[in-house]
Chain A
Amino acid sequence: MDPEAAQKARESLELAFQMSNILDTGLDRHTLSVLIALCDLGLNPESLAAVVKELPTHTHPTQQQQQQQHRNTDS
């Protein structure tokens, strides 16, 4: 990427990050950059948002299970 484009990309990302902070989305820069790339590639933002919402809670029970297993094996 030429430096201009890179500059622009950085600035856009910065702006987007500030906007997301105002909106209090809880996304950090890196995740946001990935999401922006995915949007740009044409994915449905609604489904991306769903992934963002669902994924942490989805793994939560399995993690709990894992924890329990660990505890069980420990004890």
Chain B
Amino acid sequence: MEEEDHQKVSDLIKELVLRLLSQNPTSDSQPIDPNSTDFANSLRYAFRILSSRMTPSIAPDSAAIAESIKRRLATQGKSSEALTFADLYSKFASKTGPGSVNNKWAVLYLLKIIAHDKNSARTQLLDSSVLLPNLSDSRVSSRKQKGWENGVLLVSKDPENRREIAFREFVNFVKEENEVREEVLVRDVLYACQGIDGKYVKFDKTADGYVLSDLVKVPRATRIMVRKLCELGWLFRKVKGYISESMDRFPAEDVGTVGQAFCAALQDELSDYYKLLAVLEAQSMNPIPLVSEKVSSENYLSLRRLSVWFAEPMVKMRLMAVLVDKCRVLRGGAMAGAIHLHAQHGDPLVHEFMRRLLRRVCSPLFEMVRSWVLEGELEDIFAEFFVVGQPVKAESLWRDGYRLHAGMLPSFISQSLAQRILRTGKSINFLRVCCEDRGWADTATEAAAAAGTTTRRGSLGYGETDALESLVDEAAKRIDKHLLDVIHIQYKFKEHCLAIKRYLLLGQGDFVQYLMDIVGPELSEPANTISTFKLAGLLETAIRSSNAQYDDPDILDRLRVKMMPHGTGDRGWDVFSLEYDARVPLDTVFTESVMARYLKIFNFLWKLRRVEHGLIGAWKTMKPNCITSHSFTKLQQAVKLQLLSTLRRCQVLWVDMNHFVTNLQYYIMFEVLEVSWSNFLSEMEVAKDLDDLLAAHEKYLHSIVEKSLLGERSQTLCKSLFVLFDLILRFRSHADRLYEGIHELQARTMESSLPSRDKSKSRRQLGDKSSDPGSWIGEGRKALTQRAGEFLRNMGLDLDAIAKEYSSLLEGFISQLPVQQHVDLKFLLFRLDFTEFYTRSGPSL
């Protein structure tokens, strides 16, 4: 069969060659001799051509070929013929079975190519006129050349047709205008888009762009088109410049990790861009796949096609250039935030592109967050993270050790999330450094498992802010709980607070009483003669003799006596204070300034206690006893009256002062201290982390200071209060003196009224005790009375003076109370003045 086929083929080819040669119009009248050498040559040539290409380069789809033929006919303006052709083809295609053509597509294709070849053989046009139908200069002449023998004679168009002439003229015009061929321009544009200067298109520094030199003659439209396409080159140049600049700065460690990630992402995008350009360049070399060799068909790539291809890369490149401009001076989180702002775009192409970019750019940041939140590690060489650490001592680690750097905070991380992140890492560091606790490491893995990510690197990315938030939340929850557990259980925070309240804020009443009793006489000495050591011993005694001895020894250990720095005139009372030593980690809460405030409150409370103590002491001496009552019977009436009135005045004044001091004491102890303490306790229960605890403690102290008149607003009131205290103490000494004098008086009167047999006994008794033997002994009753009268009168005057001063001061104090803004002070006023005694008696109110 094959042999047969071959023979058939060769026969047919011979036949073909014969026919073709006989068609040759330039042959002279010599008949073609099948055996001539010419014929043999031709035959050999034909065979050569036929064997060179065995497979066609297009798909054997007859319908497609028919379509293209139709289209070509239509574009050539022969629409009626196109319809006829369609008709014929449909008839042709419908013939199947024996006797019909099997490879219909081959036939069609053959016809198409032959027709095309015939057409193009007539054209001599330049490639730049691709938009126009192929114009033929010599269409008319070639028609004359053909000698149609058997074919239908096609009627040609009128050669004088104006349309044809116009086309011809236009072609000439275009030929003149275009010095440069389009494909050269296309190639130049492609070079420009990679940043390389082409033959005609060069980068112009003054114009800051790729321009086609004015000397080159191209039509204006082409020039504009080239210029538009070269915008891509300009953008590319900018982006590439930024990348190479950044890479130069790498060794100088000027560019951070985020910057590096950004450069890497840009380079990836650019490599995609290069791929596109490579494909386009390859295309620009290829003509449209019509495989006849000699035809120089239009190149596939024209400027117009290029502008279509460049539409998408132009958008992306523009985005990249904008980002590059924005990020030239930024680093770290600020850069990520700026890029994120640009990602808020509706166009899905832009959105997708930015998302890809941002994912790469933010990965170092997310990594830093992850390691900070789960391990407390700050790996930040280039200062790009928004948590900044400072080397500080252990006690201020919590407050000052780490803080947020707002400039580096990217905009997709909200402020509250950033606070939580900061607190979590701070807690881990705090636990590690101050509490020497290792239990937090498990919480990290737990948190990660709970949040669904792992503790490995690189598991979080941009666009997963929710995942980040949940991770941070889980970690924060666990770490905070752990920290609070450690603080409360291991370091007994609540116990220490209570101890401070009991000792520094004088909550332990019996202890304070003992202390004051013991330490009181010591403190009356001038300050520089008192030894701290002795006081410490006295403190120990006081602790042991009160209920305080049953307290935790660790707590008692921390309680100490402190003498404040004093001047020469100070008494011990002014400089004495107690101190509580809070060690790490509790000194985060009880810092220096906090302890100073406690000290201030202690001083005030101590003073108040002292005054109370003094008054109670005066009360002890004022109790009526038989000696006093005896004296009433012996003395003269006048003296007796004086004595009575003085005593009475003294007692009245005492009651007044006592009322004031008691109510003030009550107010301070219960309304201020206890209430604040219970508030603080309840807040401690609900506190979720150390920051909350610190805030609660602040509030507690602040309320105490404000309500006990130690705050800024109550300065004047405080001063008047202290003056009152001084006055009360003076009264106490007066009362003491008065009663001393009365006792002496009695002793004298008793002695003189005793029967003589006891006189000597009592004198001897008195002789031991009396400090001044000379003044009273041996005087008569009259002298005694006189002396008594004088003494009592003096005391009476003093007491009057004190009473007046006291009442005026008290009035002043009470009048100032309502002016204070704090609402609790009204309660103090109410207590002090519940019968409105002072307001009614005072003229100024």
Contacts and interface: CB of A to CB of B under 8 A. Distances in A.
Contacts of A60: 24, 26
A55 B50 contact: no
B45 A63 contact: no
Contacts of B103: 39-40, 42
B114 A47 contact: no
Nearest to B148: A26
Given A44-B50, A49-B110, A53-B114, A22 B38 contact: no
A20 B89 CA distance: 11
A15 B150 contact: no
A5 B56 CA distance: 28
B53 A46 contact: yes
Contacts of A22: 73, 78, 81, 84-85, 88
A33 B635 CA distance: 171
Interface in A18-66: 18-31, 34-56, 58-60, 62-63, 66
Residue in B5, B49, B56, B88 with the greatest tally of chain A CB atoms within 10 Å: B49
Nearest to B97: A8
Residue in B16, B26, B27, B97 with the greatest tally of chain A CB atoms within 10 Å: B16
B149 interface: yes
Given A8-B97, A19-B88, A58-B45, A31 B114 contact: no
B88 A31 contact: no
A18 B150 contact: no
A62 to B, nearest CB: 6
A55 B20 contact: yes
A14 to B, nearest CB: 9
Contact of A28 (B56, B78, B150): B150
A63 B29 CA distance: 12
Interface residues of B, number: 72
Contacts of A19: 85, 88-89, 92, 108, 111
Interface string B287-318: 00001110000000000000000000000000
B797 interface: no
A42 to B, nearest CB: 7
Contact of A20 (B38, B42, B111): B111
A39 B100 contact: no
B338 interface: no
B55 interface: yes
Contacts of A31: 16, 19-20, 23
Given A23-B112, A45-B56, A46-B291, A18 B15 contact: no
B52 interface: yes
B150 A9 contact: no
Contact of A56 (B13, B23, B81, B97): B23
B101 interface: yes
A66 to B, nearest CB: 7
B686 interface: no
B160 interface: no
B50 A25 contact: no
Contacts of A37: 12
Given A12-B95, A23-B69, A44-B54, A52 B100 contact: no
A63 B22 CA distance: 12
A7 interface: yes
B101 A40 contact: yes
B823 interface: no
B9 interface: yes
A12 to B, nearest CB: 5
Contacts of A29: 150
B115 A24 contact: yes
Interface in B94-150: 95, 97-103, 106-115, 117-119, 121, 146, 148-150
A17 B777 CA distance: 172
Residue in B107, B111, B146 with the greatest tally of chain A CB atoms within 10 Å: B111
A43 B9 contact: yes
A36 B19 CA distance: 14
Contacts of A62: 38, 41
Interface in B403-435: none
B49 A50 contact: yes
Contacts of A6: 99
A74 interface: no
B113 A49 contact: yes
A10 to B, nearest CB: 9
Given A8-B98, A41-B8, A59 B41 contact: yes
11 contacts: A1-B98, A6-B99, A11-B95, A12-B100, A25-B114, A28-B150, A28-B151, A46-B113, A46-B292, A55-B21, A58-B42
Interface of A: 1-2, 4-9, 11-12, 15-31, 34-56, 58-60, 62-63, 66-67
Given A26-B146, A36-B101, A48-B50, 7 more contacts: A11-B95, A15-B95, A16-B92, A19-B108, A19-B111, A29-B150, A41-B5
Interface of B: 5, 8-9, 12-13, 15-17, 19-21, 23-24, 26-28, 38, 41-42, 45-46, 49-57, 69, 73, 78, 81, 84-85, 88-89, 91-92, 95, 97-103, 106-115, 117-119, 121, 146, 148-152, 154, 291-293
The 9 closest A-B pairs by CB, nearest first: A5-B99, A8-B99, A23-B115, A39-B106, A49-B113, A28-B150, A45-B110, A9-B99, A15-B92
